[in-house]
Amino acid sequence: MIKIKGVRLDKGRRGDLIELDPKDKILIAVKVGASKYDQNFVISADQIKVGQMRMSPNGDKLKKLYQNNLYNAEGEAVFTYTRRTTGVMLEPKKKKFKVEFCDCLDHNGIPEFDIKSFEIT
């Protein structure tokens, strides 16, 4: 999944990537982290509300813009669990989450997230 908002079309910077806002990055990181959280369940996240968010520079600022930040966030979301083996969907529950991730670039130079940790409590 590409983690960009779009591509610039104006005359001076045509083709440059438009980076997501930090809050949008956290929403995507929660959805991706939830989908990879448990091997026995497919977990989807909806109604995500970010409570606390911390962002700090991480790495060389002379490198690409998209790999300089480390994000920590806490909040609440409604998580829906579906069993992988039987396909039975369990009742959605509102739970708290913690996510930590950083910006990086994939092998093609497109912005990606490296999710360091994801917890549902």
- Average pLDDT of the residues of the chain: 86
In sequence order, what DSSP letters do the residues of 47-116 get, joined into one string? Answer: EEEEEEEEEEE-S-TTS-GGGSEEEEEEEEEEEEEEETTT-PBPPPEEEEEEEEEEEEE-TTS-EEEEEE
Res 64: pLDDT: 55
Q: What integer pLDDT is reported at residue 55 of this predicted model?
A: 86
pLDDT of res. 61: 57
| Residue 69 confidence (pLDDT) | 81
Q: Which domains does the chain have, with CATH numbers?
A: 21-120 (3.10.450)
Q: How much is the pLDDT for 14?
A: 85
pLDDT per residue as tens digits for the range 13-70: 888 878 888 888 899 999 999 999 998 999 999 999 999 999 887 666 555 566 668 8
